[in-house]
Structure 1
Amino acid sequence: MPPVIARRIFRRSILVSFIASQVEVVAILLLLLISTELTFGHFIKALPTLLFLDLFVATVEAVFFSRWLVKTRAFDELARTTTDSEQLGPRALLSQEELVRYPLRASLLVFILWFLAGLLLVGTLLLEWGETFFVWEVVLIFVTAVLGGAVALVFHFYFLRLIIRKHAQAILVFETGYHLSQAEVRILNLRRKLHLSFMPVIFAGLAVLAALGFFQTAIIIRETYERERDRLKKAFLESRWTLLEMQQQIDELTPLLGVNMFLVDEQGRDPVSESPLELSNRPEDTAKFVAALKDRKADSFYYRFNSKLLFLLTSLGVFNEQRVFLVMVYDWDKFLGMEYRMLAVMVAVIAAFMALAWYILKLMSDDLIDPLTRMMAQAEAVSRGDLSVDFNIISDDELGVLAGRLKAMGLNLRELIERVGASYGQV
């Protein structure tokens, strides 16, 4: 009998959980890359937290997974010294009960850990050190962590059951009386398993699409800003206006376009009056902005002023020995109304798809459970000695095959009893 069942289950559980964690991290990064423009500095800011979370999640999982396999480990230790079924029986029974609960416990732990990991990551990314993350990016990370945890819950539950069936068969088939004790359906009946398996996956996919649609609305508007910025730059350069004439044009265009624009030189001053611009109540924000103006050599670039404001800058040339930039301010909050309308539409679509998915799942579960319920009732009657049941259940899948074989078994038992009765009468 294999003496390392618990070790095999533990190692494979940790391995699959670690791989799932890496997939979660990659999914978060891919969604952010699709949705926005991240720099290397953003990855540097997020990397220590992600590495810590990987280590934290793996450590906590290792502790709990090991504790939840202690009875199986005790069976392994005894199996090394004896093959006597009388001695192994009690520990095998305890191990069977433990292994039945293990997949659900482990999958719930994975979901809880990734929910907490998402919260910790949100708190870290909102800190003011390093590169700035927009609020919506942090929200997207948290949503992805939670939805990924829900999908991981389903994946871990079924994959761990597969691992147990593959590596703990010696324990699962051990005659302990546990098999006969399965007289009632537990909390995870087939109907709930179907619903809890498909619904999180469907909901996660639709929710991610809704989140991307919500944020892509603002990104489309930002791209419109970029085209307007480039058009203004071309017009300013071709017109050969002075700084004062440019400022007058900006003052006229700002209310017409509904876009906040201003000029700034690389010292952070108004190039016309040469007075420092007051961009924020926080001097450190302005200081970082001025440093970026001096460091950036590109003609056009983005600058994240804070967690809600994005500056779109383009160089208009050198005036008074200073580079002068046209700055367009993109305020994420300004377009929340439009984004919320888009979100409302997508939520309505999701609700309709979820209702349709739930109804289809209900039809699927009824198609499986109704024949099974009838077969269980008739099998219970056979176990009480009633051989009059017919098992007349028609289905074109494995349930139909099972019903046919149960019916054949009932007919054979009935014929056998009749023969035994006839032989007894002759005797």
Structure 2
Amino acid sequence: MTLAASRLPRGRDALAPRDALAPRDALAPGDGFSASCGYRRYVLGLLLIVMTLNYADRYVIGILLPQIKIDLALSDTQIGFITGAAFTVFYALLGVPIASLADRRSRRRIIAAALALWSLMTCLCGLARSFAQLAVFRVLVGIGEAGCTPPSHSLISDYFSPKERAMAMAVLGLGSSVGVFVAFLIGGWITDAYGWRVTLVAFGAPGVLIALVVYLTLRDPPRGHSEGLEVAEKAPRMYPAFRSLWSKGTFRYMVLGGSLYGMVSTALLAWLPSFYTRTHGLEVAAVGTWLAFTKALPHAAGTLLGGLLASRLAKYGAKPPIYLCAAVQALAAPFYALVLLAPDPTAALLWLIVPACVGVMQGPVLFATIQGVAEVRTRAVASALMILIINLISGVIGPQSVGVASDLLAGSLGANSLGVSLLIVSVTCSVGSAALFYLASRSIEQDLQH
């Protein structure tokens, strides 16, 4: 790629946000675009709201599953399809062409249109009268949400310099935690009072208004703006971009490690509410309230802590932040067993705090590393390829495998079949994820030089 200035900073500067979000009057590297510190923070805050809606609309269905299962007479295998493949396949596959478009066209317009689409489809999920209708609307939710993360990551990379980027990604990553918190807490309350259909409409409607705010107020900076680069060439096509990224061991192992963590995360988000209602006999509203504080809040704390720790570890080179990813996955594994085997419901809920907090610490490092090893003009595509692989592995296999295993084991284990299925997936995948992150650390320094 021909650049009018030096290439993207490599080594520790590619990942180290030591002065994360430090105030500056403007970013004006000579490309005619400037953004005050206040506006950059506004952009980050607005994208955080969009990301929160993204995850809230995606995962609120988890707290609704006990009612949906009864109302629509669904099996666990069908529920696994609704929460897994129906959403994930199109979400992952369409993310790549949408991201390729975002590397060439207005990211602002793509995010606004995507938000409006998935919000409307979430409302329509509340009107579904059959398994087929709900599956179709979930597919359309996935198509809409495919246009959120890649262009958002690309915008963050152009608004925040390499030293600020990991912390900015951590703040953006809070959207998943806040979204899950809102889904479990508010979703549980609304469901208990008005039912699952009203809950879906209530969650989808605000996104239409926020989409208008995005369209009217978000500005699209030039590519490479935060590094002071002027990109002379157009973005390469998808296949050459994928071939270049996949040739780097860091990209491969980080994405596969994130995929195994994603299997744990998606399986737990989809099935934990049902686990607590079936195994421990808790009410839906109570489960939603508990999970908001023992799953979503620790998840938020872990996201921020992961960004802060990574920024400090990056002072010692590019490897230590990735060592952190491996360590937290290994640490989380035994705690999943405590959650799923504890006979007391309170203990089973409280033990969840530890793996919910430490497991997610890999997120900011994963996102910043992928952006660091990608070329400036392929950042949205790099993010989309990461999402494609992670979601095809985690989103399809995670919830579906638990549902199928639960149905197969139900004859011998009864109500305990769901807990055992979750245990097998969570512990096995956490250990595998730790091993893959360690392998990524062995190639990071070389890949940051190419």
TM range (shorter): under 0.3
Query: More helix by proportion, 1 or 2?
Result: 2
TM-score (norm 1): 0.25
- For the pair shown, the structure with the greater C-alpha radius of gyration is 1
Query: More strand by proportion, 1 or 2?
Result: 1
Structure of higher RCO (CA pairs closer than 8 Å, 6+ residues apart): 2
